[in-house]
Copies of this chain bind each other. A is one copy, B any other.
Amino acid sequence: MTFLRNQWYCAALSHELKEAPLGRIIANEPIVMYRRGDGTVVALEDRCCHRRAPLSKGRIEGDNLRCGYHGFLYDARGQVIWVPGQDKAPPGARVRAYPLAEKHGFVWLWLGEPALADPAKAPAFTWNDDPRWASCTGHMRIECDYMLLVDNLLDMSHLPFLHINTIGSARDLNARLEWERGPDWLRGVRQAPALSPSPRQRAEGVDFDTDRVQIMTYTPPGNVVIEVIVTEAGKKHGDPSSRYDTTVMVLDSMTPETESTCHYFFGLCRDYDIGNTALTEFSSKAVLVTFGEDKDMLEAEQKIIDLAPHAPQIDVVGDHGGLQARRMVERLLAEEQQGTRQAAE
């Protein structure tokens, strides 16, 4: 068993589920998602029970999904309700249906035991559809283990190096970093004072130093929410005399596709100038440039790992978050495996 199963995995952005079915590999399983006539979302096994064609090459018919090869018609529970050439579908003609929860513009899939799926426990990225925030979202496929991206997001010491041409500040070398953890979450606070403006801040007209606080919250298997508060250097968040005082929520969810590839779903929500659609437009492009820098490095890292998977590595203080996250996933995996064994006895 490679991946946690009794977990909600982000599988799509709401706006991706429109006229056509959407096929994705999630944790090595082919999944097709679509939106029914009543607007609710459905996830089925993306493999026709007849000749194993992907149902995602078919079409939505009201509440149902029709295979594009021989026309097998599936209802939203995965039951075949029409087959060609005979009056009734054979008994057992069905594919697996997966619990799905749509919340605040993100669609969450439950791979494991359906009885255990509690939509209330799927992550709630509330900022994404809160009118007090301006938001943009995106999806990237990255050819790396999803945990490399968890490492990346929990260790922001890479900002002044990997992102020095976009959002990094050359002076961001002495941040204070503190972690706390609960049974199923990790929280890190990273405080970086008196930062010289990053290239992107300069482009926005910020020509003075700023203080930045990043509050990173991780929940398994691959969710990282980062609250980023930036104020004029030396001023407190909320101080009306600060020339700058913004909060951005960076919403990240990483979902394994295979052992060495993953889906990266993200949202960027800001609390300032929220009516400025040109800025939202700009942000949605700029974030692709920045995250493209991560993608490029992570795919290179994965190739080096593949060359010698057991090469040792050294941990430093910045790795605390990533290491804790990995330990949490390993513990949950062990618990799931034990649960599976007990259920089998």
Contacts and interface: CB of A to CB of B under 8 A. Distances in A.
A56 to B, nearest CB: 9
A103 interface: no
Most B CB contacts (10 A, CB to CB) among A29, A71, A89 go to A71
Nearest to A293: B68
Interface string A305-335: 1011001111111110000000000000000
Contact of A50 (B52, B90, B303, B313): B313
A289 interface: no
A329 B86 CA distance: 27
Contact of A85 (B47, B66, B157, B311): B157
A151 B317 CA distance: 52
Nearest to A296: B57
A105 interface: no
B68 A297 contact: yes
A161 B66 contact: yes
A345 to B, nearest CB: 25
Contact of A54 (B47, B67, B162, B304): B304
A83 interface: yes
A313 B151 contact: no
Contacts of A296: 57
A46 B308 CA distance: 12
A288 interface: no
B49 A313 contact: yes
A92 interface: yes
Interface in A52-81: 52-54, 57, 66-71, 80
Given A57-B297, A84-B318, A316-B83, A25 B307 contact: yes
A52 B316 contact: no
A237 interface: no
Contact of A70 (B84, B85, B157): B157
Interface in A127-178: 148, 151, 155, 157-158, 160-162, 173, 175, 177
Given A84-B173, A85-B318, A92-B314, A68 B161 contact: yes
A301 interface: yes
A80 B314 CA distance: 11
Interface of A: 25, 28-30, 46-47, 49-54, 57, 66-71, 80, 83-86, 89-90, 92-93, 148, 151, 155, 157-158, 160-162, 173, 175, 177, 296-297, 300-301, 303-305, 307-308, 311-319
Given A50-B315, A51-B301, A71-B173, 17 more contacts: A47-B307, A47-B311, A49-B314, A50-B316, A52-B301, A52-B304, A52-B305, A52-B311, A54-B304, A57-B297, A68-B297, A70-B155, A70-B161, A84-B157, A85-B157, A85-B316, A85-B318
